[in-house]
Structure 1
Amino acid sequence: METLTEETDTMDSDAARTRSKPRPLLIAAVVVVVLALVVWALTADSGSDDSTVSTPAADSADAGFARDMAVHHQQAVEMSYIVRDQTDNEDVRRLAYDVAQTQANQRGMLLGWLDLWGLPKTSSDYMSWMKGGGHMGHEPKDGSLMPGMATNIELDKLRKLEGKQAEVFYLQLMYDHHMGGVDMARACVKQCGVETEKKLAEGMVQGQQSEMELMTGMLRERGSAPR
């Protein structure tokens, strides 16, 4: 598995022309600070006078969300890497850069929590932590692991497209991806017990909904719409 630093360095090396190239040492410093804040926040929660936050169980919503969303985010980063090589459009490349940076950082936090809790980072039982199994009508497609995730066939198709066709397909895939991610994050807000993780999930809902609105507008500009 690639590290967060490797993912960030790769994206920075080919970022849109409108952005400057961050220094590797600065990126590493940011990662250290983020993980330190995560540890501090969880320690502060567990040391409160009102209640003690115990380590979540492996089958808890907290652990399930962290594992599943880390996988979900990884594909968003992968799709963003693909499209940046398939188009020269600065708006799409800028969106891809933002998606990759945001979700790579969040993925690092989720995996950091699992490390801190001493829990497995992988599981074949995807989405079992979501009580009731409801996904707001947004179910996994045949061949995809979770709601919103693209299939291998769709990823291969994205790799073969160029220019406007690649832009439209990426925006449609990422719109679906965000829709599934928002459902998962909302479920964590309701079911997760670690307050810091719930706040991260709330931020995911707000951020991804905002990007969905942006993607809808970008698709409209290209004579298309979400699928």
Structure 2
Amino acid sequence: MSDATGMSNEDPENGSTVRRTPVLVSAGVVLLLVAALLVWWRISEGTANASPPGTASAEAGFSRDMSVHHQQAVEMSFIVRDRTGNQEVRTLAYDIINTQATQRGMMLGWLESWGLNKSSSEPPMTWMGHGSMYEAKDGSLMPGMATNTQLDRLREAKGKDAEILYLRLMTAHHKGGVDMARGAVEMADDEKVVRLARSMVDGQQSEMDLMADMLAQRGAEADR
């Protein structure tokens, strides 16, 4: 005899109870499976059809060059951290270390996922059409980057002198970085690259405004 829910019946031959799944539930499971398969197929098709950026693309060039640019900003920030006890400057340095090290990791990860080398034999900023416009010198590979001589001066400076030199060097560094990030916003097609570049423009411009105030407090201004 069937129970009130229709979930079980007695087997008329041996008297045992046979559990049966309602037709409505079975149909629902099938529909869910079909829907899941359709979603998976669409995602797979989109992934298969999307070509990763090539080695000469704006995405690859930006990721390579900005990774190098960011690495120096992190290095300068670690240097000043040990050359001053001023909490405001140290806080700025920590922020730059954390932000730019994280962004650098993202860009290197993209290059890895695209199957591309993390360095190139082409001059920096070739992807922007500026490969021959900047003459690398004394470790300064791109606009805004400090020279090795300037980094040595920062390592030797202390207190207020170290703070002013760091703020000046980092302001110049950010100007070069913002110009490069704007290039990526205009030239890249990959939306995640464009989003990151746009966030760099906004974040570094805000930090340049802050550093201008910090220099003024110390009776100095950024190098022109």
TM (norm. structure 1) is 0.74
Q: Does 1:47 align with 2:51?
A: no
Structure 1 gaps, min length 5: 1-43
Max radius of gyration: which structure?
Answer: 2
For 1:145, the equivalent position in structure 2 comes to 141
C-alpha distance in structure 1 between counterparts of 2:86 and 2:132, whole Å: 37
**Quick one: which of 135, 140, 152 aligns to 1:156?**
152
Q: Which runs of 4+ in 1 moved over 2 A?
A: 44-48, 131-135, 139-143
1:135-214 map, 5 Å = 142-143=137-138, 144-214=140-210
Determine what percentage of the aligned residue pairs are the same residue.
Answer: 57
C-alpha distance in structure 2 between counterparts of 1:186 and 1:52, whole Å: 28
Q: Report deviation, 1:123.
A: 2.0
1:129-140 map, 5 Å = 129-131=127-129
C-alpha distance in structure 1 between counterparts of 2:101 and 2:159, whole Å: 25
Q: Report deviation, 1:45.
A: 11
Q: 1:222 to 1:141 in 2, by over 3 A?
A: farther
Q: Report deviation, 1:79.
A: 0.2
Task: Kindly provide the amino acid, as one letter, of the partner of residue 103 in structure 1.
Answer: Q
**Quick one: which of 98, 113, 123 aligns to 2:95?**
98
Higher RCO (Cα < 8 Å, 6 or more apart): 1
Task: Report which stretch shifted further, 139-148 or 194-203.
Answer: 139-148
Aligned partners of 2:124 and 2:131 also within 8 Å: no
- Aligned pair count? 179
Q: CA RMSD in A?
A: 2.2
C-alpha distance in structure 2 between counterparts of 1:222 and 1:91, whole Å: 12
C-alpha distance in structure 1 between counterparts of 2:189 and 2:56, whole Å: 13
Local SS of the residue matching 1:47 = helix
Q: Report deviation, 1:133.
A: 6.2
TM (norm. structure 2) is 0.75
Q: 1:191 to 1:45 in 2, by over 3 A?
A: farther
